[in-house]
Structure 1
Amino acid sequence: MKTEASSSGETGARAQTRIQAANRETILQAALPIFAAYGFRGSTIDQIAQRAGMSKPNLLYYFRRKEDIYEAVLQRTLTQWLSPLRTLERDGDPETELRAYIEDKLRMSFEQPEASRLFANEILNGAPVLRAFLQTELRVLVEAKAAVIRHWIDTGRLAPVDPVHLIFVIWATTQHYADFAVQIDAVLGDRSKSPDFLAETTQAVLGIILGGVRHSADAASERVIADAPEG
């Protein structure tokens, strides 16, 4: 039987847990743009604490080392990024499934560019933190989703392309808009600042990628319609 004191203690513990979770999230949100801008070596605990609005000792209560913050930020980033890939369903319509995946990836690149840049920096530095994850969990996930795409190809619903390279192409294309935003801005100027730029980009990328993997019979039919004389 719970006493009033024990119930009060449990309530206080839950409140403390919520506060701790909120503070950890604040730290991770503060750390992401710093790691993305300066890399792991160029970032400091002091910078993260200042951006998080807390003292350094308070921050170190939640994360003992800078390495721990970095790993936590990377893991959260990967969880968010890989979530859309996990949703590819074997029994779904291939074009609908791929369209949704590409749209989600582009939206993430536009709305969370720091996450993409952080991941790119980790990879360019040899993936010292993520290598084991890439060789195990990511490899298993990619192989599973490549099997889904291969099933679509084998059943005549997609053109015969290499499934793994298709996934790579989607990653490279969508993440380009975050990792190379400076180059895109330099080339396109004000056009890249337009509120319609995400929609424009999405339409272009979908047309290129889906047009390349659409089953040849469907693609040929669309070309005939497009090339048909007017009138």
Structure 2
Amino acid sequence: MDSIIYTYGGGEVLWTIFNGLALIFKSNSPYLTSVGYLSMLIGGIWGATAALYQANIGIFAKSWFIPSYAILSLMLVPKTTVNIVDEVDPYFKSDRVDNIPVGIALVASTASMVSRAVTEEIETVFPTPDSLRYIKAGPVFGARLAAHARYVRIKDPIVRSNVKNFMRQCFFWPFVASNLKGLKHEALTTSDVLGFIQSNPHPWLGVYWKNPDGSQSFMDCKVAVSQVADVM
């Protein structure tokens, strides 16, 4: 049975994280197998030593064998598929990741579904305009990007990647996440994102701009904003 994880923005980040988990927990993984064997060996030695020291074989079963067997056989060894659904990002609606341990998938899916249900219930009882509803737009920054994305459709994957990286490096990180120069409020409320960046370019940040021939060139935010304006 597949698990579903709902998120309001950050779907691509979750997809990357769960792909990393799938790589770590895959069968015969070079990352987990040796570490798992070593951990089991250390735990077994500890359990056996404690059982012999206290002359109680039940400690070995209760403190090591049964918990280890239960965690491995019920939580980590069985695998399932996780479907990540982003309710906000128009470029990442949903994606799936296979070979995720059932225990991790169950905890993550349950937490996200409970949070989603609570959010929907609160917004049903205390209704607000759709533009302010978390389940419609996510955080303020995600809402603004989603609102602009309704009117902009970038089909070229290279241009889409360049614009996405530019927005992250030259707008989100310096002004929304870090609040440099104390301009977070202005950044979130501006109606002209490119104009705002052009007026307040961060001197140390930039983006690696992908060219059609596959090469990349680094541009600071002041130069990159002109490139984005041209392709948009």
Report TM bin, short chain: under 0.3
Identify, as 1 or 2, the structure richer in strand. 2
Largest Rg, 1 or 2: 2
Name the TM-score, length of structure 2 as normaliser.
Answer: 0.28
Question: Quick check: which one's helix share is greater?
Answer: 1
TM-score, with structure 1 as normaliser? 0.28
